[in-house]
Amino acid sequence: DQQVKQNSPSLSVQEGRISILNCDYTNSMFDYFLWYKKYPAEGPTFLISISSIKDKNEDGRFTVFLNKSAKHLSLHIVPSQPGDSAVYFCAAHGGATNKLIFGTGTLLAVQP
Amino acid sequence: DAGITQSPRHKVTETGTPVTLRCHQTENHRYMYWYRQDPGHGLRLIHYSYGVKDTDKGEVSDGYSVSRSKTEDFLLTLESATSSQTSVYFCAIREWQANTGELFFGEGSRLTVL
């Protein structure tokens, strides 16, 4: 039972354009959502998060949008750069559980 | 960078042999986690610890055991390795005050079971 889903295994965009990565979840008890970025042969690194009481959080070129009624969040990267090419994981934190549940990841390729 | 190191970074072993992966942190964080990363499955939680000698199972704990006798070390043991346990294993740590759930990950340990 996958509680956090990323339905697009891969995404390719042109440099300078917008990248939109999507994530769906099933558990309404999640209170924080996070995005991680992972380069090959490295550990995942934290990118940006959003509380369940917010609908948008922005950090430079990265913006996360949360639609609680649809149980959907998205990560927007504008403008996309070749260095953004990586696997992006969506993750959700469920309050008292102390666990972070990850999606399956989306491989983003930004073409120069 | 969070002070977290994993060892060994690479290991090749044979089916049926025991394997122990070590995670060491210098941050004195309470929470420590072991995940495995596999194509098509993302990152899946194996076990985690919320203090010395306090551990709990994750979503894919079968075939794995853990121990935490000191705050700084969290060991993951495969008692009898199988080919299905070929994977990249990541350790992660979290401050107890971090209610966002944010984790800091190690560099990973690549395990191949032949």
CATH number at residue B75: 2.60.40.10
- pLDDT given for residue A2 in this prediction: 79
Can you read off the two tokens belonging to residue A67?
């639609």
Percent of chain B with pLDDT over 70: 95
For A92, nearest residue in chain B (alpha carbons): B101
Task: Kindly determine whether residue B103 and residue A103, on different chains, have CB atoms separated by under 8 Å.
Answer: no
Task: Kindly determine whether residue B100 and residue A89, on different chains, have CB atoms separated by under 8 Å.
Answer: no
| CA B44/CA A23 separation, integer angstroms | 16
Query: Residue A62 above 60 pLDDT?
Result: yes
Which residues 6+ apart lie within 8 Å of B49 measured at CB? B31, B32, B33, B55, B56, B66, B68, B74
pLDDT tens for each residue of A35-50: 999 999 999 999 999 9
Chain B residues within 8 A of A91 when measuring between CB atoms: 43, 101
Chain B residues within 8 A of A10 when measuring between CB atoms: none
Query: In a 3-state reduction of DSSP, which class is residue A29?
Result: coil
- pLDDT given for residue A1 in this prediction: 67
**What secondary structure does DSSP assign to B46-97, as a single string?**
EEEEEETTEEEE-TT-TT-EEEEEETTEEEEEESS--GGG-EEEEEEEE-TT
| CA A100/CA A4 separation, integer angstroms | 10
User: In the structure, what pLDDT confidence band is assigned to residue B88 with cuts at 50, 70 and 90?
Assistant: very high
Domains belonging to chain A, first-starting first, are: 4-111 (2.60.40.10)
For A47, nearest residue in chain B (alpha carbons): B102
CB–CB of B77/A11 below 8 Å?
no
Count structural domains, chain B: 1
- For B34, the domain range is 4-113
A contact set with B (CB within 8 A): 6, 9, 31-32, 34, 41-46, 49, 51, 89, 91, 93, 98-105
